[in-house]
Amino acid sequence: MKTKSIVAVLSVSVALVLPAFSAETGAAPNKGITYSKDVAPVIQERCQDCHRSGGIAPFSLMNYRQAKGWAKMIREVVLDGRMPPWHADPKVGKWSNDMSLSQAQKDTLVGWIDGGLAKGDDADLPAPREFYEDWGIGKPDLVFEMPEEVTIPATGVMPYEHYVLPTNFEEDTYVSSMELKPSNPRVVHHIIMFVQDPSGSKDAKDAFLGIGGAMLDVFAPGTNPFPLTAGQARKIPKGAKLVWQVHYTPTGRVEKDRSKFGLILAKGPVTEEIRTATVINTGFRIPANEANYKVEAEMNFPDSATIYSFTPHMHYRGKAMDFVLKYPDGREELACSIPRYDFNWQLDYRLAEPLRVPKGTTVKVVAHFDNSDKNPYNPDPTKSVTWGEQTWEEMMMGGMFLSWGSGEAPAASTD
C-alpha cells in the first residue's frame, strides 16, 4: 500500500509539471495561445480565400465567433491534412501558392483549440482582409455577365452549357487580373472562359498550346485568380468574343445562377504575354477494376519558354500526375508531382521561381488512374472508362501557364 501511494503521488506530481502533449502534432495544449494574436493571422493567410461570404467554402471564418463555432471541425481537418487542400509532393519544387500549413501553424491551431479557445485582446487582431464585393482581384475595371440567368433542375444530368458574348473591344486589350465568379457556387462545378480570336491566325506555337490557346480563365473548386506581375498580361484580341463553358451539378433542389467575369486592365507597357498550354491524351481506355492505370502524353516546345505554373486535370478516377521535362541535352527533370490528386480541388501549382526551358524541350505528362473498388469516389469500377466531359467519364489534361521566349513583347502600351 505504501509503494502504491508513493507511485500515485509521483504520478500526480509529474502530471502537474509536464504538459499534456497531442499525439497527432506533438504539441501541448497551450492556454497562452489566443485567437486575436496567434490564430487569426493563420486563418487569414490560409483559409479566408475560400472561407468568406461569397467564397466556395460552406461557411465563413472571418471572426472569432465563427472560428470558435467550427473549432472541432478545424481540428479534425488540420490533423488529417484535408485542409487547407494541397496535394503536391513537398520534395519536388517550390510553390508560391502553397497553402499547406507548417508544423508551427498546425501546433498553433490545435494548441488553441485544445487549450480552451481563448479570444485574447481585440487590440492584437490583424487588420481584416478586404474583399471588394467578394471579388478576389479587387474592384474590376470591366464586368461581363452571362447573357441570361440559368435554372438548374433539382436532379438529373446537365450537359455543358455554352454562352457567347461579344466584347466589342475596338483594339487588342491587355488584362492584368481576371476572375470568374459564380453567383451560386453551390451548383457551378466549373467554368472555362474561352476567347474567340476573329483573326483565326495559327502557327506552331498555337498548335503547341492546343485548346489552352483559346482558354482565358477557369473557375473550379480551389482555384484563385492567377497573379501577374508588372508588365505581364493576358491578351483579348480586338473584336473577340467570350465563350462561357459552364458545368452545373444539381443539388437536389431547383437552383439559379448568373455568373460574372471581372477584368482589371493592365496599366503601363505590356512586355510579356501569358498563355495557357494543355498537354492532352484523349485516346485512352481505362480497364474495369484497374487500380493503377498509366496514361501518358507529351509535346515538344517549338520555341524557348518560361513556365509559371502546372495544372493537373482528371476526374474521379484520377490518382496522380507528374510533369517531366526532357531537355535537348538529355537531362530529365521532374518539375511537378501530384501523388494524391483530388478531383474535388482543382488546384494549380505556381512556381516560386519561373522555369525557363529551351526550344526543343519535351514536356511529358504521366497520369495514373484508379478504376478499382478501392477508390471511394469511383462511379462504377465494373466499367471501362474513356475520355468524356461528364464526371463519370475521364479526362487526362496537363495545363501550364507560360510565355514564349524570355517574354513576348507586344508592341502595345495601355497608358
What would the pLDDT profile of 213-245 be if each residue is shown by its tens digit? 889 999 987 777 888 998 999 999 999 999 999
Share of the chain above pLDDT 70, in %: 89
pLDDT in tens, 277-303: 999 999 999 999 999 999 999 999 999
Q: How confident is the model at residue 391 (pLDDT cuts 50, 70, 90)?
A: confident
Fold of 142-267: Jelly Rolls (2.60.120)
What local confidence, expressed as pLDDT, does residue 29 receive?
Answer: 60
Report pLDDT for 385.
97
With beta carbons less than 8 A apart as the criterion, state whether 231 and 379 touch. Answer: no
User: What band does 185 get if pLDDT is binned at 50, 70 and 90?
Assistant: confident
Residue 375's pLDDT is 97
Give the mean model confidence (pLDDT) for residues 150-179.
93
Tell whether the model's pLDDT for residue 260 goes beyond 60: yes
CB 301 within 8 A of CB 360: yes
Residue 201: per-residue pLDDT = 64
Comparing 409 with 330, the larger pLDDT belongs to 330
pLDDT greater than 90 at residue 379: yes
Please determine, for residue 27, whether its predicted confidence score (pLDDT) is greater than 60. no
pLDDT at residue 31 in the model: 66
pTM of the prediction?
0.83
Residue with the larger pLDDT of the pair 415 and 160: 160
Q: How confident is the model at residue 119, as a pLDDT?
A: 95
**pLDDT of 92 higher than 80:** yes
312 has a pLDDT exceeding 90: yes
Q: In terms of pLDDT, which residue wins out, 389 or 275?
A: 275
pLDDT at 30: 63
End-to-end CA distance of the chain: 89
If you average pLDDT over every residue of the chain, what do you get?
Answer: 87
Average pLDDT over residues 351-365: 96
- What is the third-level CATH fold of 276-404? Jelly Rolls (2.60.120)
Q: What is the pLDDT of residue 227?
A: 84
Give residue 154's pLDDT. 95
Assess whether pLDDT exceeds 80 at residue 51: yes
Who's near 102: CB < 8 A, 6+ residues apart? none
Q: Do domains 142-267 and 276-404 have the same CATH topology?
A: yes
Domain ranges of the chain: 18-124, 142-267, 276-404
* Residues contacting residue 347 through CB under 8 Å, at least 6 positions apart: 85, 86, 87, 222, 223, 311
Does the structure show a pLDDT above 60 at 5? no
User: Does the pLDDT of residue 363 top 70, yes or no?
Assistant: yes
Mean pLDDT over residues 111-122, rounded? Answer: 95
pLDDT at position 1: 39
Higher pLDDT, 21 or 396: 396
pLDDT, residue 25, reads 47
Which pLDDT tens digit goes with each residue over 191-217? 999 998 887 766 778 878 878 888 999
Summarize the confidence of residues 359-381 as an average pLDDT: 97
